[in-house]
Amino acid sequence: MTSPFSDQSALVSIRNLTFTRGGRKIFDDISLDISRGKITAIMGPSGTGKTTLLKLIGGQLRPDSGVVQVDGIDVHRLSLGDLYELRKRMGMLFQSGALLTDLSVYENVAFPLREHTRLPESMIRSVVLMKLQAVGLRGARDLMPGQLSGGMARRVALARAIVLDPMIILYDEPFTGQDPISMGVLVQLIQDLNRGLGLTSVVVSHDVRETASIADYIYLISDGKIVGQGTPEEVDRSDSPWVRQFMHGLPDGPVHFHYPAVDYASDLLETAVSG
């Protein structure tokens, strides 16, 4: 099952992906498309391997079987050099920001420029300040990562992720653990960057409300399979009990409240007899 947008506009195309780790099937023959210029959300309960999916797209992990294509290129058939070239066109925002702790905010954002380009110092400065301005942290350029709050660190990481003007940004749980204001800021930024820079965004999250408010298309993944997909309205109206439980945050449903156990009454009586 793929999105209704035509295949030619899919920037990332995943077909029949299977990935196992530690004996557990993280992904079981799934297929999905990430459309160009749109914000696609991958949602599901914690531990379903959503971060793993981003690592598979970025080539950090190899699937057991299946194909992952980015901009028409099979990621896992690339040589190391070509893979690095592809990664220069992708930006990734890690959950913790993953800023280099011994560099200042300015130096962190400048890092990809220094490593991959031979731009003169003056140009680097202009680009860095522009990107910091876009995330609203131009004044914080001389702070060290240790001095930043979680939300600020993520915004700096975002500025760094867009510094080479990538074609796609992968967001790994951007809203987790944020206060409402930071969350609002990030939501706004993701949307603005997507529209303003014509980016393609993939947001992996389990924050239903925030993600659904900006997503153009949603995939719901559970137990290694896609259990629901569609535009936010379609998913919200879905009849599937699983989708309903997840989207509305119902405590009991296909994902049971009780962990499997023996019969309650006999369990208690047994204790009473032996106790």
Partner 1 sequence: MVTALQWLGQWAMGAVHKLGRAHLFALHALSGFPQVLVRFPLLVVQVYSVGVLSILLVAISGLFVGMVLGLQGYNVLSDFGAEESLGVMVAASLVRELGPVVTALLFAGRAGSALTAEIGLMKATEQLAGMEMMAVDPVKRIVAPRFLAGIVSMPLLAAMFSIIGVLGGYFVGVGLLGVDEGAFRSQMQAKIDFHEDIVNGVIKSLVFGVIVTWIAVFEGYDAVPTSEGVSRATTRSVVYSAFAVLGWDFVLTALMFGKD
Q: Which residues of this protein are in contact with partner 1, per CB under 8 A?
A: 58, 60, 84-85, 87-88, 90, 92, 94-96, 98-101, 111-112, 115-116, 157, 160
Q: Give, for 215, the enclosing helix (H) or strand (E).
A: none
Nearest distance in Å: CB 117, partner 1: 12
Instruction: Give me the amino acid identity at 225.
Output: K
Instruction: Give the span between the Cα atoms of 9 and 71, in whole angstroms.
Output: 9
By C-beta, is 161 or 243 nearer to partner 1?
161
By C-beta, is 59 or 230 nearer to partner 1?
59
Nearest distance in Å: CB 98, partner 1: 3
Instruction: Give the span between the Cα atoms of 232 and 216, in whole angstroms.
Output: 7
Nearest distance in Å: CB 59, partner 1: 9
Six-digit token pair at 153? 């660190």
Q: Checking phi first, is residue 183 left (phi over 0); if not, alpha (psi -120 to 50) or beta? A: alpha
Nearest distance in Å: CB 103, partner 1: 10
By C-beta, is 92 or 189 nearer to partner 1?
92
Instruction: Give the span between the Cα atoms of 166 and 86, in whole angstroms.
Output: 10
Nearest distance in Å: CB 86, partner 1: 8
By C-beta, is 60 or 149 nearer to partner 1?
60
By C-beta, is 38 or 160 nearer to partner 1?
160
- Which candidate, 119, 198, 185, places its Cα nearest to that of 155? 185
Nearest distance in Å: CB 120, partner 1: 16
By C-beta, is 168 or 220 nearer to partner 1?
168
Instruction: Give the span between the Cα atoms of 135 and 188, in whole angstroms.
Output: 10
Nearest distance in Å: CB 116, partner 1: 7
- On whether the CB atoms of residues 226 and 1 are closer than 8 A, the answer is yes
Phi, psi of 230 (to 5 degrees): 150, 180
CA dihedral over 120, 126, 131, 136, signed as positive or negative: positive
Instruction: Give the span between the Cα atoms of 84 and 58, in whole angstroms.
Output: 10
- Which candidate, 96, 101, 102, 127, places its Cα nearest to that of 112? 127
By C-beta, is 202 or 212 nearer to partner 1?
202
